[in-house]
């Protein structure tokens, strides 16, 4: 049994989600708090906090991309092995 219209639309929606999450991952702006005025003592802590936020945003988007890819693989295998 081959792909039905529902299976095809489901895979298409997942691939659109994959592309969208990759675009958000690649083109998302960097968290930067330097547009405000801070004292020199505060700036080092704020830079470290910004770097941590950037790292976590990137990791979260990467996990979202991986989940979309795994969902697409399972749907494809489910249909292919029917």
Per-residue pLDDT, 1: 60
Q: Is 76 helix (H, G, I), strand (E, B) or coil?
A: helix
- pTM, entire model: 0.63
Q: Is 56 left (phi over 0), alpha (psi -120 to 50) or beta?
A: alpha
Per-residue pLDDT, 13: 82
pLDDT tens sequence across 19-71: 888 877 777 777 777 767 777 778 888 888 888 888 888 888 888 888 888 88
Phi, psi of 13 (to 5 degrees): -65, -40
Closest CA to 26 of 69, 73, 72, 64: 64
């Amino acid at each position: 049994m081959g792909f039905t219209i529902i299976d095809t639309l489901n895979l298409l929606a997942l691939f659109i989600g994959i592309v969208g999450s990759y675009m958000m991952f690649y083109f998302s702006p960097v968290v930067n708090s330097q547009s405000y005025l801070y004292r020199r003592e505060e700036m080092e802590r704020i830079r470290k906090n910004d770097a941590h936020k950037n790292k976590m945003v990137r990791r979260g988007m990467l996990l979202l991309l991986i989940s979309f890819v795994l969902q697409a693989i399972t749907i494809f295998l489910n249909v292919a092995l029917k």
